[in-house]
Amino acid sequence: MKFVKFKNIALVLVAVLSLQTSFAQDSTKYPQDYFLFPINPGQRNYLAGSMGELRPNHFHGGLDIKTGGVEGLPVLASADGYVERVKVNSYGYGWVMYVKHPNGYTTTYAHLKKFRDDITEYVRSQQYNRESFSVDLFPKIDMLKVQKGDTIAWSGNTGSSGGPHLHFEIRDKNNFAVNPLLFGFDEIIDNTSPTFTKVAISPLEMYSMVENKYERKEYSLSRVGSVFTVKDTVDANGIVGIDFAGFDRLDGASNKNGITYVTLKCNDSSYFVQALEKFSFEKGRTFNTHIDYRHYRKKGKRFQHCFLEDGNTHHFYGPSINRGKINIEAGKIYNITISAKDSYLNESVLKMVVRGTQPTLKKPILKESNYHPMSWTLKENVLDIGIKNFYSDTIKGVTYADSSQTKFPISYYDASTAHYLWDMRRGMPDSVRLADSILRFDFKKAILPFQENTYSDSNIFMYFPKNAVFDTLYLDTEYDEKKQVWRASNILVPMLKNASITLKVPESLRHPKASVYSKNWKSESYIGTTWTETGAKFRTRSLGQWVIRKDENAPYIKLNIKKPNYISFKISDDKSGIASYRATLNGNWILMKYDHKRNLLYVEEDWWSKTLKGEFKLVLKDNMGNETVYETTF
């Protein structure tokens, strides 16, 4: 691989890395000295976020450049070009500008407070033409030209920003996000190597074990300098995958950033290689195969895989052995080394030793009990059935499916629970019997990733387009008539595309002001709904639980400030959320800004050149059509 030539301390390491690691999928050479740093160029700057760090459901697409906790710093054009796109929204990137350059790259400047005057006038005219604060505009080529070093905007905190900063991206001709730190910006200094916080090993096949159990196991690390180690030898058997949690820091900043380069070696053979120099926005949701999605949804912590899950089609991985999955054989020793490098090639190493150990059935010493509650979990193709206070290794489990019975043995003990593992590829059971206990299931159909799938019963209809799921989904559904809750599998299943779902709703729940809400963990969230003859139809990329809720409450408006050339309101809605607002002055539409983070709707002085005079009217609607009107006279 050809690596860029940095002008900082990492220069001497470039040739070394190019000899050590080869990423055949990407030989791009990034232009040096072409782009100007957009905030205080020539001065030292600090980052709150880097390209490729792990965010909810996506990789971070660029640099978050600190602005000292304030808004209003001049944002400079990184190179000559023209404004290709400009967008204003209360969410996402907020006020954002995309500048196209002659070399084929595009730079992006997001969360802005204000645009340059001519850009402002263009945006404002389009907002009035469309009578909408939110606009997504594509000016004609060369209509809004910029020159390198021009002030094109001022930094802000708009959209879903968590504080004042500039989000800066460099995109290539294919609209891939490219790491801006590879373009040679001396404004950022980094001599700090990445940090590993934990490592985890997971069994990936039914007969795989970690510490004599079919379950994921995390390990704490000790550290000496930039070398991290697992103190004790890990016992395992079969096909396993390794994950780690970690982050990178840049000099002078405490923010936890992403790790660019990762290599996993087993006994000196390279099993997994990552060079996250660029990624495709179109494959954004595929991020959920890069991490342990199940663990993230359950615990809120992101562990990065050092192996490739089924459905992972990102391009930034190098050649691997068995997609990074390691086959642990009894009697053998496996020396595992994970190398993590940041964009400046500062390196940390994690070392652990795995010992191949044949699993043994270790029966616990338990008090006798006639109470044998059963539970189950499903991970990929393996159904793990647990039964409490049960310690007979001679009694087999029995699955029932389509009037046939199949016996299967105990797999292992975990404290007071005996575990029986069933391979779902052998069939989806209706129930399982262990001794005198029976566990019943609601498995309906195997949803395959590479074809369209439908499922229907008296309570639900589901349509999955091709590649909606990353791997086979063993769909289980139920309807709790007493609680009036529908369920389809659970939120631990990542999805790539929207499924179309129709809940077959009883007449007693149908109402013009009713809609579907997702009900996961302890919260309920509004989902847009189309009512049909058969029920409530909606689209979603998250499985789990749904309920029908009415919203007949109008949204809330409170006057905040009223002056001759300024007015602001606090607005909110208690259920379905704000859908639209419309303000008029003497019957004519008037532009108001919306900041959802502060629940603030306002006319700002620098966007209003005339005195507010006459009859003012604000109409606020929620997603169920409930309406509140506020009127006043200036």
Binned at pLDDT 50, 70 and 90, residue 370 comes out as confident
Backbone φ and ψ for 4, nearest 5 degrees, come out as -70, 160
- Whole-number Å distance between alpha carbons of 131 and 362: 71
Residue 369 has pLDDT above 80, yes or no: no
pLDDT tens string 199-245: 999 999 999 999 999 999 999 999 999 999 999 999 999 999 999 99
Residue 27 has pLDDT above 80, yes or no: no
**Other CB atoms closer than 10 Å to residue 536's CB: what's the count?**
22
- Confidence at residue 287, expressed as pLDDT on a 0 to 100 scale: 95
- Whole-number Å distance between alpha carbons of 526 and 551: 10
Contact between 274 and 262 under an 8 Å Cβ cutoff? The reply is yes
- Confidence at residue 22, expressed as pLDDT on a 0 to 100 scale: 41
- Whole-number Å distance between alpha carbons of 460 and 543: 13
- Confidence at residue 609, expressed as pLDDT on a 0 to 100 scale: 54
Residue 21 has pLDDT above 50, yes or no: no
Four-CA torsion 421, 423, 428, 432, nearest 10 degrees:
-20
Binned at pLDDT 50, 70 and 90, residue 26 comes out as very low
Q: What is the pTM of this model?
A: 0.90
Tell me the mean pLDDT in the region 569-578.
96
Q: What is the DSSP string of 434-456?
A: ETTEEEE--EEEEE-TTS-EEEE
- Confidence at residue 499, expressed as pLDDT on a 0 to 100 scale: 98
pLDDT tens string 286-305: 999 999 999 999 999 999 99
* Gyration radius from the chain CA atoms: 28
Q: What is the largest CA-CA distance in the chain?
A: 87
- Whole-number Å distance between alpha carbons of 340 and 21: 12
Which amino acid, residue 142?
Answer: D
Residue 340 has pLDDT above 50, yes or no: yes
pLDDT tens string 254-268: 999 999 999 999 999
Contact between 350 and 194 under an 8 Å Cβ cutoff? The reply is no
Binned at pLDDT 50, 70 and 90, residue 9 comes out as very low
* Mean pLDDT rounded to a whole number for the chain: 92
Specify the higher pLDDT residue, 374 or 416: 374
Residue with tokens 């993590």: 340
Contact between 60 and 53 under an 8 Å Cβ cutoff? The reply is yes
Binned at pLDDT 50, 70 and 90, residue 121 comes out as very high
DSSP H or E segment with residue 296: helix 293-299
Binned at pLDDT 50, 70 and 90, residue 13 comes out as very low
Smallest CA-to-CA distance from 53 within 285, 212, 264, 257 is with: 257
pLDDT tens string 492-530: 999 999 999 999 999 999 999 999 999 987 889 999 999
pLDDT tens string 375-395: 999 998 999 999 988 877 788
E strands in 111-254 = 112-115, 135-137, 145-146, 151-155, 165-171, 176-178, 195-203, 209-210, 217-219, 222-224, 227-229, 234-247
Binned at pLDDT 50, 70 and 90, residue 606 comes out as low
pLDDT tens string 458-474: 999 999 999 999 999 99
- Whole-number Å distance between alpha carbons of 353 and 333: 7
Binned at pLDDT 50, 70 and 90, residue 3 comes out as very low
Smallest CA-to-CA distance from 274 within 261, 284, 258 is with: 261
| Percent of the chain surpassing pLDDT 90 | 85
- Confidence at residue 416, expressed as pLDDT on a 0 to 100 scale: 84
